[in-house]
Structure 1
Amino acid sequence: MAAIPISMTRAEPEEVEDGISRSSEASVRDVPAIVGANLRRLRKGQGFSLEKLAELSGVSRAMLGQIETAKSVPTVSLLWRVADALGVPVASLMATEREPSVVVIRRDNASVLVASDGQYATRSLAPVNRARSTGFFEVTFAPGHRERFQASAIGTHHNLAIARGRLLITVGDEPPVTLEEGDSIAFEASRPHAIENISASLVSAFLVVISSTG
C-alpha cells in the first residue's frame, strides 16, 4: 500500500512573540482533538466498538480510548494501523476541511475492510470522512461463515437488507431470525449479535449504521 503523506497547513500567524507563532501553537494543540473526533466518528460510522477496533488494529482499547478523548497523541505508525483497520486513508484521521456537497464513490476507490480470514467483508458506500452519524455499507459473508459482533455504543442502530442469499441473525438473547433475499431487519447494535450465512453461496447485504450518540 502506497504511503499517503500527512500535511498540516498552517494559517498566517496572528501574533508572534520571541519568534514563536501563537496561532501555530494553537494549531498543534488542536491536533489531538481533531484526530480523536475523527477516530470516534469513523469508528462509530463503521459500527465498531472500541474492543472490535482494538482487535482489528492491534492497538489496545485503552490507547484507542485515550486517542478519542484527546488524552494521547498517536504516532504515525499507530495511525497507519488504526486507519488500515478502519479501511480509510490516514488523511481521514487528520481531516479538518469542509467537503463538497456532491461526492461520487467509484467501486475501485471505495474503502473495503476484509476480516475473519476473508470470510467477511464490508465496502463503504458513503464518504467515510464526512461529519455524520450514519454509515452505509455493502457487506458480504462467505458460505457457512458466522461473524460475531461485540456490542456497539448505546444508541447505535443497524438496518440490514439482504440483496442475495440467506442469513441467520441473532441479537442478544432474542430468538434467531432467518432473512431471505429481499428481507430486512432493524435492531439495536448496543447488544452483542451474530450474523451467519446459512446458504451455500456468498451472501450480499446492505447495512445502514445509525448512531444517535454523536
Structure 2
Amino acid sequence: MNNPNQHLARMLKYYRHQKSWSLDKTAQETGVSKAMLGQIERKESSPTVAILWKIATGMRLSLSQLLEPIDNGGDVQATIIHNQAPIFRHASALRSQPTTDNMLIAPLFPFDPQLKFEIFELTLLGGFEKRSQAHATGVIEHIIVISGSIDVFLGAQWQRVSVGEGVRFAADTYHGYRNLSDLPAVFHNIIYYP
C-alpha cells in the first residue's frame, strides 16, 4: 500500500463525492469536525483509529473501505467469489500504520457486500490501548489471538485473551483493546456488518 495519508485522503474524497456530501454534511454525519476532515483530505493530518471508525460509521462504510484501494471501480472480493477462484493475500504485503496509533493494520480480506464481513490482521505494539465507541447497530467482532496476548474491554471490564484463544462480541457497544506487554501482540479481527 502506498503512503497511508495519501490513500486515506483519496478514499475519503472518493466516498464523500460518491455520496454527494459536502464537508459540512460529512462532519454532521460522522461527528468528526469539518477542519479535521479537510486536513485528512489535504494530507495534513493522520487520524487515530477511533477517528477512522467515526468516519466509517457515519458514512455507512466498513473500515476496510477506507483502507483498501478500489481496483477498476469494482470490488475485488465480490469478483473472486462469483468466479469461484481462490484468493491469496499475505499480511506482510498489506501491513501498514495508517493512523497515528501504535498499531499496524493489514486488511487481509476487505469488506464484501455479499458476505457482509471483513478480516484484518492487527498488531498492537507494546503499551497500546484503544477504546472504541459503539459501531453501527448489529456489528459483531471476532478476535483470535495469534501472537502474544491482549486485553479486550467488554462489559465495563478488561478481559485477557491469549494465543489460540478467541472472543466474539457485539461491537455496537463501547469496547477496547490493549497490549500491556513490551512485545507486539497480533490478532485477527473478523468484523460482521448486518
For the aligned pair, the TM-score class normalised by the smaller chain equals: 0.5 to 0.7
**Distance across 1 between alignment mates of 2:151 and 2:75:** 40
> Aligned match of 1:138 in 110, 118, 121?
121
* Secondary structure of 1:155 counterpart: coil
C-alpha distance after superposition, 1:92-136 (max 9, x if no partner): 7x427861332222445436453234x11221111x264331111
Separation in 2 of the partners of 1:143 and 1:115?
16
Write the distance in 1 (CA, Å) between the matches of 2:97 and 2:60: 21
Structure 1 gap ranges (5+):
5-30, 37-48, 70-82
Task: Work out the CA distance in 2 between the residues paired with 1:84 and 1:157.
Answer: 15
Whether the aligned pair in 1 keeps the contact of 2:64 and 2:118 (CA below 8 Å) is: no
| Residue 165 (str. 1) matches residue 148 (str. 2) | yes
Distance 1:68 1:164, change over 3 A: closer
The answer for unaligned runs of 5 or more in structure 2 is 8-13, 20-28, 42-50
Alignment correspondent of 2:192: 210
Spell out, residue by residue over 1:60-109, the C-alpha distance to the aligned partner (whole angstroms, 9 max, x if none): 979x95x769xxxxxxxxxxxxx9982222547x4278613322224454
CA RMSD of aligned residues (A): 4.2
Residue 23 of structure 1 is matched in structure 2 by: none
Partner of 2:175: 193
In the alignment, the residues of structure 2 paired with residue 141 and residue 198 of structure 1 have an alpha-carbon distance, to the nearest angstrom, of: 10
Q: Distance in 2 between matches of 1:146 and 1:153?
A: 22
2:157 to 175, 185, 190: 175
TM-score w.r.t. the length of structure 2 is: 0.61
8 Å CA contact 2:90, 2:108 repeated in 1: no
**What's the offset of the Cα at 1:165?**
1.1
**TM-score, normalised to structure 1's length?**
0.56
Distance across 1 between alignment mates of 2:111 and 2:153:
30
How many residue pairs get aligned? The number is 154
Aligned equivalents of 2:141, 2:60: Cα separation in 1: 23
**Where does 1:23-172 land on structure 2 (aligned, <5 Å)?**
35-36=18-19, 50=30, 58=40, 86-91=66-71, 94-95=73-74, 99-100=79-80, 101-102=84-85, 103-107=87-91, 109-110=93-94, 112=96, 114-117=98-101, 119-126=102-109, 128=110, 130-132=112-114, 133-171=116-154
Contact 1:167 1:178 in 2 (8 A): yes
SS at match of 1:191: coil
Cα gap change, 1:211/1:198 in structure 2, threshold over 3 Å: closer, same or farther? same
Rg larger in structure:
1
- 1:118-172 superposed Cα distances (whole Å, 9 cap, x missing partner): x11221111x26433111111110111101222110000001011111211112x
